[in-house]
Amino acid sequence: MQAHTTIMARPRVDDSHLSDKLHPVIRQIYASRGVNSNEQIDNRANTLHDFRLFKDIELAAEILSDSLQRQDKVLIVGDFDADGATSTATLMQGLGMFGFSQLDYLVPDRFNFGYGLSVELAEHIVAMAPDLVITVDSGISCLKGIERVKAAGIKVIVTDHHLQGEQLPNADAIVNPNRHDCTFPSKSIAGVGVAFYVLIALRHTLRERLYFNEQRPEPNLANLLDLVALGTVADVVALDANNRTLVHQGLARIRSGKTRPGIEALVDVARRTQARLSASDFGFALAPRLNAAGRLDDMSLGIACLLSPDINHARRIAGELDMLNAERKEIEQGMQQEAQAALAKLSLTSAQTPDALCLYQSDWHQGVIGILAGRLKEHYHRPTAIFAAGDNGLLKGSCRSIDGVHMRDVLAHIDGQYPGLIAKFGGHAMAAGLSIEEARFNEFQQAFAQEIGKVLTEEAKECILLTDGELPSDCLNMEFAELLRQSGPFGQHFPEPIFEHTFELLQQRVVGDKHLKLVLRHSSGRVLDAIAFNVDVRAWPDTQVRYVHLAYQLDINEFRGQFSLQLIVRELQKQ
């Protein structure tokens, strides 16, 4: 029932509008990803969009400036994922740099309060008696909670990037590129990016108020870009030109050693090299460890790591996060096996895969259902919803989608057709969360399948891996691999370059129980090392296979201080 992947080269596009100083392969890579001017690959900080394009951002800056003058008690309300953690840390550090002295943060516990500024969390906030509440990476859908906080005489600034619903919350300022009346061009900016822009606006307002002097020097906000870069990649937002600039600038600071102890500690515990860190290291190495705190424990642990001023203290916390991540992997593996077993009972062929997958098991872990939904979505190439038991007879659900199916729109349509079926929901095109009554799971399962069936086209069902075609043999070297690395950052909607070729298979062996180490001969005669992660060990090694068609990434492997060229296999097909 696993989806069959078709390897397909992208059509060549005109790249004559890009600088001829670029390597021809790099130029085609950029053009095929929609880069239509040299300005779009200029990652200097001064190319970032103007903060004034955000609706309400100058109003938010005025409120913050007044609060600073009064030295108000400010509470930052975060979220329990990596974007929420980096957003919280960005405002904690940034506002502290401006001179706020009464700063605190609160992250809703996933298991007790759920997502965002809920009514229950609002009561807790009111008891803390802040003068100003700032939400990060959340708030746009928290109408009732914000109303309760406002009723207590507390000012509220919402900073968020999630899609707005029919009604905006009654906050004093709402900074969100996805509110309907906002003209900020980068609709894909992460929550941490929005928080960073609010600090830019605050700096501008304080300049106008002549706040800075020799005793109060203007802070360098670039010092926060390592947090912005990590949160942006971790939240898997589209890397448009503005986001690429934010990530590029943050990566450059980390590589040059200008990063905070918490990120340095996460790099160390993930066994990455700081000077060679890439955007993919954020997504596959640092973010999972940071997210593990919010999934299994309390995201305050992750935020404490990011805010720690001492490298030894940060390393101790990073070690705890690493252990939580190992625990998360074990839980995830067990849940995945149970989900696969449930689907295997259907005995379906790949052609019979349902349009939608929707599963619930009472003992599944709330903090891991999002990862499981993503794994099943990748395996079966179908929109997926996974549920775990919540409180008060509710189920918590996490959804992941494929191109062509807007998940939040699907949930909105279900909510409209079946009022009351969904207790609450929110999210994006590719990911969403919701709560439903346990007694109504079967009803939701049917509605979900029905709604997905309406919008899922035959074309969308095809699992196609787009490549950048054949890589010229004279590019199969470490120099070009390094050039590719420097041409990033790559990520969501600006994918890593992938090439394809049919190789002669010289050697194959399983390493680490589930990975396949290969020695290959290119048609040019060049012999290359490759590794395929998480292969089906029932199908590999296969001594009958002489040739394989690969979709691969060109990589530089570092082992004990030695560097060598290596292919990272994205798709392995017997010939």
The answer to the question of residue 404 being in a domain is yes
Residues 151 and 296 in one domain: yes
Residues 435 and 485 in one domain: no
User: 386 pairs with which residues across the strands?
Assistant: 359, 398
Structure-derived torsion over alpha carbons of residues 459, 28, 488, 243, reported in degrees to the nearest 10 = -60
Mean residue pLDDT across the chain: 95
pLDDT value at 352 more than 80 = no
The answer to the question of residue 395 being in a domain is yes
Instruction: State percent of the chain over pLDDT 70.
Output: 98
Residue 448's domain is classified under what CATH number? 3.10.310.30
Residues 408 and 476 in one domain: no
User: What's the mean pLDDT in 549-558?
Assistant: 96
Read off the pLDDT band of 348 (50, 70, 90).
low
Q: How many domains does the chain have?
A: 3
265, 290, 323 - which closes a domain: 323
Residues 109 and 197 in one domain: yes
Record the tokens describing residue 386, joined without a space: 């996974």
| Residue 341 CA to its chain's centroid (Å) | 28
Residues 140 and 249 in one domain: yes
Record the tokens describing residue 67, joined without a space: 């609060």
Q: Angle at CA 173, nearest 5°, toward 167 and 175?
A: 80
Q: Which residue has the tokens 């919008």?
A: 455
The burial class, CB within 10 Å (0-12 / 13-18 / 19+), for 517 is middle
Predicted confidence at residue 2, as pLDDT, reads 74
Predicted confidence at residue 343, as pLDDT, reads 87
Residue 218's domain is classified under what CATH number? 3.90.1640.30
| Residue 575 CA to its chain's centroid (Å) | 35
What's the distance, Cα to Cα, between the start and end of the chain in Å?
A: 21
The answer to the question of residue 41 being in a domain is no
Least confident residue range of 36-40, 85-89, 171-175, 341-345: 341-345
Q: Residue 410: which domain range?
A: 346-461
User: 463 pairs with which residues across the strands?
Assistant: 5
Residues 61 and 155 in one domain: yes
Give the whole-angstrom CA distance, residue 169 versus residue 125: 17
Structure-derived torsion over alpha carbons of residues 317, 318, 319, 321, reported in degrees to the nearest 10 = 90
Residues 190 and 278 in one domain: yes
Q: Within a 13 Å sphere around the CA of 148, how many CA atoms are in the beta-carbon half?
A: 16
- Looking at residue 503, its amino acid is F
Residues 494 and 557 in one domain: yes
Q: Within a 13 Å sphere around the CA of 322, how many CA atoms are in the beta-carbon half?
A: 15
User: What's the mean pLDDT in 58-65?
Assistant: 99
The answer to the question of residue 370 being in a domain is yes
Predicted confidence at residue 537, as pLDDT, reads 86
Read off the pLDDT band of 111 (50, 70, 90).
low
pLDDT value at 512 more than 80 = yes
pLDDT value at 486 more than 90 = yes
Angle between helices 191-208 and 57-70 (to 10 degrees): 60
Predicted confidence at residue 395, as pLDDT, reads 96
Predicted confidence at residue 349, as pLDDT, reads 57
The answer to the question of residue 339 being in a domain is no
Element (H, E) at 413: helix 407-417
Predicted confidence at residue 241, as pLDDT, reads 96
pLDDT value at 351 more than 80 = no
User: What's the mean pLDDT in 284-307?
Assistant: 93
Predicted confidence at residue 427, as pLDDT, reads 81
More confident residue, 26 or 343: 26
User: What's the mean pLDDT in 256-266?
Assistant: 97
Query: Which range in 292-301, 437-446, 538-547 is most confidently predicted, on average pLDDT?
Result: 437-446
User: What's the mean pLDDT in 350-374?
Assistant: 90
Residues 204 and 83 in one domain: yes
Give the whole-angstrom CA distance, residue 71 versus residue 94: 15
What three-state secondary structure class fits 182? coil
Read off the pLDDT band of 538 (50, 70, 90).
confident
418, 435, 461 - which closes a domain: 461
Residues 457 and 351 in one domain: yes
User: What's the mean pLDDT in 398-417?
Assistant: 95
The answer to the question of residue 45 being in a domain is no
- DSSP letter at 51 equals G
Q: Judge whether 191 and 161 are in contact, CB under 8 Å.
A: yes
User: What's the mean pLDDT in 380-393?
Assistant: 94
Residues 92 and 119 in one domain: yes
The burial class, CB within 10 Å (0-12 / 13-18 / 19+), for 378 is middle
Each residue's pLDDT tens digit, 426-441: 888 889 999 999 999 9
Residue 529's domain is classified under what CATH number? 2.40.50.460
Predicted confidence at residue 391, as pLDDT, reads 84
Secondary structure string (H, E, C) spanning 517-530: EEEEECCCCCEEEE
The answer to the question of residue 39 being in a domain is no
The answer to the question of residue 88 being in a domain is yes
pLDDT value at 297 more than 60 = yes
Give the whole-angstrom CA distance, residue 38 versus residue 60: 34
Residues 11 and 101 in one domain: no
Each residue's pLDDT tens digit, 119-144: 999 999 999 999 999 999 999 999 99
| Residue 53 CA to its chain's centroid (Å) | 24
**Sign of the four-CA dihedral 311, 315, 318, 322:** positive
Within 8 A by CB and 6+ apart from 319, the residues are 269
Structure-derived torsion over alpha carbons of residues 331, 533, 237, 376, reported in degrees to the nearest 10 = -50
Instruction: State percent of the chain over pLDDT 90.
Output: 88
The burial class, CB within 10 Å (0-12 / 13-18 / 19+), for 170 is middle
414, 435, 461 - which closes a domain: 461
Secondary structure string (H, E, C) spanning 123-165: HHHHHHCCCEEEECCCCCCCHHHHHHHHHCCCEEEEECCCCCC
Predicted confidence at residue 347, as pLDDT, reads 59
Q: Which residues of 79-96 are buried (b: 16+ CB within 10 A; e: fewer)?
A: bbbbbbbbbbbbbbbbbe
Per 3-state DSSP, what percentage of the chain is helix, strand, and coil (rounded to 5)? 45, 20, 35
How crowded is residue 463: how many other Cβ atoms within 10 Å of its Cβ? Answer: 18
pLDDT value at 298 more than 90 = no
Element (H, E) at 324: helix 311-344
